[in-house]
Structure 1
Amino acid sequence: MSVPLAAPPAGWADPGPIRQLRLLLSRIATMCLIELQKLRRDRTELVTRAIQPALWLLIFGETFTRIRAIPTGNIPYLDYLAPGILAQSALFIAIFYGIQIIWERDAGVLAKLLVTPTPRTALVAGKAFAAGLRALVQAVMVLILAAILGVGLTANPLKLIAMAAALVLGSAFFCCLSIVIAGLVLSRERLMGIGQAITMPLFFGSNALYPVDVMPGWLKVLNHVNPLSYEVEAVRGLLIGTPARLGLDFGVLIGAMAVAIGVASALLGRLAR
Structure 2
Amino acid sequence: MDKSNLGLRDSLAQVLAVAEAELRKLRHDPVELFTRIVQPVLWLVIFGQVMGRVNAIPTGGIPYLDFLAPGVLAQSVMFIAIFYGLSAIWERDAGVLTKYLVSPTPRWALVLGKALGSGFRSLSQAVVILALTLLMGIDLRLSFSAVAALLGFVVLGSAVFSTFSLIIACLVKTRERFMGIGQLLTMPLFFASNAIYPVTLMPPWLTAVARINPLSYLV
**TM band (smaller chain):** over 0.9
TM superposition outliers: structure 1 runs of 4+ over 6 Å: none
After TM superposition, give the deviation of residue 155 of structure 1 in Å. 4.1
Alignment of 1:1-273 (within 5 A): 15-16=3-4, 18-232=5-219
CA contact (8 A) 1:105 1:111 kept: yes
For 1:63, the aligned partner's letter is V
After TM superposition, give the deviation of residue 149 of structure 1 in Å. 1.1
For 1:107, the aligned partner's letter is A
Q: Give the unaligned 5+ runs of structure 2.
A: none
Identity %: 56
Deviations 1:37-66 (A, max 9, x none): 011221111011101100100111111111
CA distance in 2, matches of 1:62, 1:186: 42
Q: Give the unaligned 5+ runs of structure 1.
A: 1-9, 233-273
CA distance in 2, matches of 1:25, 1:68: 50
CA distance in 2, matches of 1:99, 1:206: 24
CA distance in 2, matches of 1:176, 1:129: 9
SS in structure 2 of the partner of residue 19 of structure 1: helix
CA distance in 2, matches of 1:160, 1:25: 26
CA distance in 2, matches of 1:220, 1:122: 37
After TM superposition, give the deviation of residue 108 of structure 1 in Å. 1.1
Deviations 1:201-242 (A, max 9, x none): 00001110111111111111111111111110xxxxxxxxxx
> If the length of structure 1 is used for normalisation, what is the TM-score?
0.77
Number of residue pairs the alignment of both structures matches: 219
Deviations 1:96-151 (A, max 9, x none): 11111111111111111111111111111111111111111011111111111111
Q: Which moved more, 1:151-160 or 1:206-215?
A: 151-160
Deviations 1:19-39 (A, max 9, x none): 333222221111100110011
CA distance in 2, matches of 1:230, 1:23: 34
CA distance in 1, matches of 2:67, 2:166: 31
> If the length of structure 2 is used for normalisation, what is the TM-score?
0.96
CA distance in 1, matches of 2:6, 2:208: 43
**Match for residue 245 of structure 1?**
none
CA RMSD, Structure 1 to Structure 2 (Å): 1.3
